[in-house]
Structure 1
Amino acid sequence: MQNMLKRIVAVAVIVVIIILAFKFCEFKKGDDSSLEYNTNLIQQQIVNVGKLVVTEGHFSEVITYKNQQKYMMDMLSFEKKAIVIVNADVTVSYDLHQLKYDIDEANKTITILSVPKEEIKISPDIKYYDVQQSQMNPFTGDDYNKINKSVRANLAKKIDKSSLKSNAQNRLISELSKILIVTNTMGWKLQYNGKTIDNEKDLQHDLKL
């Protein structure tokens, strides 16, 4: 009788151990599934953000181009000149498909490794008025190249002084904030430049470093 009781107790203990083992495995499996789900959701959000952020602007300017060719010890000169009117469309964009990041599942951390540089595209429409030239000093391809180079240099200065770049960066921050929102909602952390990003202000500050 005593032996039978011992056997029953032993079997009961084994059954309890087996049940606990199954419960533990199910618990671990549940954690893994949840982590995998969260990771996939965050990756999907990053994919959704991965688009071209574009800010557009328009610039105009008027340039007077002059050139002189002198002969006979500068006693004789031939001048050519033109009024150049420029209307240019400018775009500043970020290709977020080039965004590099790392996902640390163990520590529930998303680290932005690098943000793509802005891409500036200038599309000038150049028109010439009051063109004056002579056979001794006609307009050539070299003149048009100089004018084009000067136009682009002047436009680049105007772009730097305008709010076009800062507006584009604000749109970039707005897109990246979507990643911040989903990570905060799911209890993950977002890091950039070795710092934890807690809010949009932190993101804006670090991107301008």
Structure 2
Amino acid sequence: MNASTLLFFLISLTLGTGIGAVAYKWFFVKKSNEETSKTESTVLLESIEKVFKVVMAEGYFTEIYNYENHRNFWNLISDKKKALIIAKAKVLVGYDFGKMRFHFSHSDRKMIIEYFPEPEVLSMDTDYKFYDIEQGWLNRFQTDDYTAILNEAKKTMNEKALQSDLPRIASNQVQLMMFQLAATMSWKIDLLLPEINKKQLDEFSKYRPTDANIDSLKIDDNP
């Protein structure tokens, strides 16, 4: 084998090795790094119901919820887990008119209301974030724990919304709306309510100022 033949053989071997390495990297290494995601979604419509619910007031709430749980194992080890949850919610308060009882007196153009429902929370759009999660070796958070914490926080938020001024605002709004609509059609509204129902409406008509304790700011004039 002369020198030119040997040189041609070496060049061909080098090129073949390089092309093979590139081909291996392209077909095998790249393929192993490819990520494939597949998502399937099934939406089932369970039921459709006709409702007559009207939103009369909305409020925005922030709740700071502290959760702490202690467990004692065999009276030897005391283990705890805790978390801080900050919840934000938009609460819509209004009326379900399907619960109202009434009839019409067409002779004197009157709408006679026999029962007027209480304002209620119609919907609550919530957002929860967990902070400062701590757990022990044995007492650890499980999926059921998070579900129970969120349910309790949502229940507390619902109670606070009904204790706020939202029901009073909704009560005033719905009465104004109904009497104005009746007046535009030359009708009148008579409230022939049971005594307990009257007391409920009176209670929701009371103003409840928001409780807040504000500390006075102390300004130091000396630098």
TM-score normalised to structure 2 length: 0.55
Equivalent residue number for residue 76 of structure 1:
77
CA deviation map 1:135-186 (0-9, x unaligned): 4111113322331233133223422332111111111111111244246xx4
* Structure 2 gap segments, 5+ residues each: 1-51, 204-223
What's the CA shift string for 1:114-136, capped at 9, x where partnerless? 33443303332111112112341
Structure 2 CA distance, aligned partners of 1:126 and 1:194?
A: 41
Question: Match of 2:139, as an amino acid?
Answer: N
C-alpha contact 2:118 2:200 (8 A) present in aligned 1: no
Which residue among 134, 149, 152 is the counterpart of 2:151?
149
User: Relative to structure 1, is the Cα distance of residues 164 and 62 closer, same or farther in structure 2, using a 3 angstrom cutoff?
Assistant: same
Conserved in 1, the CA contact under 8 Å of 2:58 and 2:91? yes
Structure 1 residues 133 and 206, CA gap change in structure 2 (3 angstroms): closer
1:1-209 to structure 2, matched below 5 A, reads 52-73=54-75, 75-96=76-97, 99-120=100-121, 121-182=123-184, 186=186, 189-193=188-192, 207-208=201-202
For 2:94 and 2:169, locate their aligned partners in 1 and report how far apart those are by CA, in whole Å: 10
* Paired residues, number: 148
Give SS of 2:138's match.
coil
The answer to whether the Cα contact below 8 Å between 1:53 and 1:172 also exists between their aligned partners in 2 is: no
What is the CA RMSD across the aligned residues, in angstroms? 3.0
Q: 2:22 — aligned with what? A: none
State the 1:205 CA deviation. Answer: 8.6
Q: Structure 1 residues 98 and 153, CA, compared in 2 at 3 Å: closer, same or farther?
A: closer
Q: Which amino acid aligns with 1:127?
A: K
SS of residue paired to 1:208: helix
- 2:70 & 2:200 partners in 1: Cα distance? 51
Distance 2:193 2:100 in 1: 16
Does the Cα contact within 8 Å between 2:53 and 2:94 map onto a contact in 1?
A: no
- Distance in 1 between residues matched to 2:190 and 2:154, nearest whole Å: 38
Distance 2:70 2:53 in 1: 50
Return the structure number with greater helix share.
Answer: 1
Identity of aligned residues (%): 27
The answer to whether the 8 A contact 1:53-1:95 is kept is no
Which amino acid is the alignment partner of residue 54 of structure 2? L
2:64 and 2:110 map into 1 onto residues whose CA distance is 53
Contact 1:193 1:206 in 2 (8 A): no
- Counterpart AA for 1:208: D
